[in-house]
Structure 1
């Protein structure tokens, strides 16, 4: 196993992500959890990310370097911050002092720049690829994705010490774009099973509903994520006509106008993690008919919260070996969703069985401590870095 002498100084990791909390989203939550848990192990962690303005400060024992960025594209449903030219100098500075650079997804300016910095400083890099190609409704966006993966993505994937993927579809995708088979590994995200937990009883669930302004006497189906087509919020709306035995609850930002005025539909907006955990405890079912997402973090959070899960039947989920009698894996079809959700709303014992299975899966397979232990192994175990 290669790596620096850790008796002389702490091991140094540069984590790279296009966003980081307080910006809300799946990748940024994963990166924060990795950073905090690595720091708790004595690792010297620096996070390179975007921000409204440049800054360097300590947050939860982690050095967070924010480079000023324009984020206007996110309002059009494209989460792609455009960073100032200062990002290259920052990436070079922090890559030079790091033992390993860990890039999250190869589609973003932060990853391209930090990958170049790792190459120039001869610092090995590890890459976590969260998703495959996103079938965005815009042909322009789809074309840009393909171009980026074919050029910058291929270079990052080929040079990576390890390429970590969340499901089999993403593993196949990175293989197509140059990730070497012997360097690819499956690594599930972790989840905070203390924060995301089942309600302790009916009283806690009712109190959570009251605080969130949700009805006390309806079966509630929760969707958590951005209100964009790839997440499938529109399919849930199409599957719900307002006369069903359940209400829909949406937690996330985006096309809020599509939810306005619909009977039996409640919009909570974007929620901080603590409030989102309360939303899971307030609801009865979790539904996310998304596409091309790896294994979504919100599915893991819902499972940790003891909710029955309805999500897309993606062949990439095979490494997780989910019990199809305890997790509903369905096609992205409004009529099929309508039938499945109606059946769950009418069958409380089935919901309870599925919920127990969800919680058991989360506590045994999605722990952050196990994730970080595996991550440290991937950081230090790999081929020597190729010459610049």
Structure 2
């Protein structure tokens, strides 16, 4: 007996918003449909009429949300509005779904699903993109709000029936924060249907690339100083910073007077692919990542990646130094420039190894395998639950 009807609950939908979580849950929905399951995607409205055409049903449970404040912090009011809409939608449809996959960020989603489906036969899977310690919450939102958010996270983890995550770091933190079962750690989040051409040599002059949002946790403002230090050894080295966000003015200030820095802002997917393939290396100095899909995306082109070692950065689990990139000890210009130079000096041979890493990973670290494992758990659990009444009848006889 299989789980046939599945809901996915997340407040964003790719391509209307384009972060890692959005891509992941959209890929989950597409893969579930490919496997013959009926899927409803419960999200907030991000489009004008008509609704988007997909292979699954998109159901807006909340209106348009302003997710982030001016500092790039998720707004509590937006999280409350979406959670309330999710609760009402699930309460009206308590018998509609065999299972639901709920994003654990924001954490209020977990409580909305648990309360709405209390006493129903719907199986709840909570997918934890990241798990934060108390200090991270306090730094992110302040002492009072951060402490409350951390306490809510602990409570949500304690009442999670089935937990999934995407790194050893998150699995360790889930159990440290009170998870009562063993989490399902996914093999990976690569969309293996993506067709990315290998670029055997980088462009001349060489370019260091950053691609992503400009928020404090990404620490993009450290890149001009690091690349300036690297230019002492490679004088024609350039820096290209894609994206925008609350930290953009700080980055622009650090870039002032340096004509070897370009900041094109957000670009099309086609332009992003060209930048990614032509870069000598991609650098992401983020202090925290739940998975690090950018490592995979860069390696597909053969572009090595430089990350920074940090207790909250699970993306470093994807880096094998000297094979697909390097890990800097810190964001200091000396440490970061040293890793950048190692990646660039690796040349075509390093690019070939990075592509080789990707070609292995694309068969072992995929969305397909992750969804398959989730379904194995759900289908097996449903068969077990369905068999219990029959077993009871035989014992009573």
Q: Which has the larger radius of gyration?
A: 2
Contact 2:300–2:354, Cα closer than 8 Å, also in 1: no
The alpha-carbon distance between structure 1 residues 312 and 223, as it changes in their structure 2 partners (threshold 3 A), is same
Contact 1:251–1:269, Cα closer than 8 Å, also in 2: yes
User: Distance in 1 between the 2:40 and 2:265 partners?
Assistant: 31
User: Distance in 1 between the 2:322 and 2:298 partners?
Assistant: 17
The alpha-carbon distance between structure 1 residues 194 and 13, as it changes in their structure 2 partners (threshold 3 A), is closer
The alpha-carbon distance between structure 1 residues 364 and 62, as it changes in their structure 2 partners (threshold 3 A), is same
User: Distance in 2 between the 1:110 and 1:271 partners?
Assistant: 32
Aligned to 2:389: none
Is 1:222 the counterpart of 2:229? The answer is no
Is 1:157 the counterpart of 2:150? The answer is no
Contact 2:198–2:355, Cα closer than 8 Å, also in 1: no
The alpha-carbon distance between structure 1 residues 139 and 62, as it changes in their structure 2 partners (threshold 3 A), is closer
Deviation at 1:337, TM superposition (A): 0.7
Deviation at 1:136, TM superposition (A): 6.7
User: Distance in 1 between the 2:228 and 2:101 partners?
Assistant: 45
User: Distance in 2 between the 1:283 and 1:360 partners?
Assistant: 19
Contact 2:200–2:351, Cα closer than 8 Å, also in 1: no
* Unaligned ranges ≥5, structure 1: 206-215
Is 1:257 the counterpart of 2:249? The answer is yes
Is 1:51 the counterpart of 2:45? The answer is yes
Aligned to 1:266: 262
Aligned to 1:213: none
User: Distance in 1 between the 2:287 and 2:230 partners?
Assistant: 27
Query: For 1:64, which of 54, 58, 74 is the aligned residue?
Result: 58
User: Distance in 2 between the 1:304 and 1:114 partners?
Assistant: 37
* Unaligned ranges ≥5, structure 2: 386-397
Contact 1:189–1:366, Cα closer than 8 Å, also in 2: yes
Is 1:35 the counterpart of 2:29? The answer is yes
Is 1:324 the counterpart of 2:315? The answer is no
Aligned to 2:177: 177
Contact 1:58–1:64, Cα closer than 8 Å, also in 2: yes
TM-score, scaled relative to structure 2: 0.79
User: Distance in 2 between the 1:289 and 1:345 partners?
Assistant: 17
Contact 2:198–2:300, Cα closer than 8 Å, also in 1: no
User: Distance in 1 between the 2:92 and 2:100 partners?
Assistant: 12
Following superposition of structure 1 onto structure 2, how do residues 1-388 of structure 1 map, counting pairs within 5 Å? 5-6=1-2, 11-21=4-14, 22-52=16-46, 57=51, 59-66=53-60, 67-71=62-66, 73-80=68-75, 81-82=78-79, 83=81, 85-119=84-118, 121-133=120-132, 135=136, 138=139, 140-141=141-142, 143-151=144-152, 153-180=153-180, 182-195=181-194, 197-200=196-199, 217-241=204-228, 244=231, 245=234, 246-254=237-245, 255-260=247-252, 261=256, 262-271=258-267, 273-313=269-309, 322-326=319-323, 327-334=325-332, 335-382=334-381
User: Counterpart of 1:73 in 2: which secondary structure?
Assistant: coil
Contact 1:259–1:265, Cα closer than 8 Å, also in 2: no
Contact 2:209–2:240, Cα closer than 8 Å, also in 1: yes
User: Distance in 2 between the 1:295 and 1:159 partners?
Assistant: 24
User: Distance in 2 between the 1:186 and 1:70 partners?
Assistant: 30
Deviation at 1:222, TM superposition (A): 1.8
The alpha-carbon distance between structure 1 residues 226 and 281, as it changes in their structure 2 partners (threshold 3 A), is same
Aligned to 2:390: none
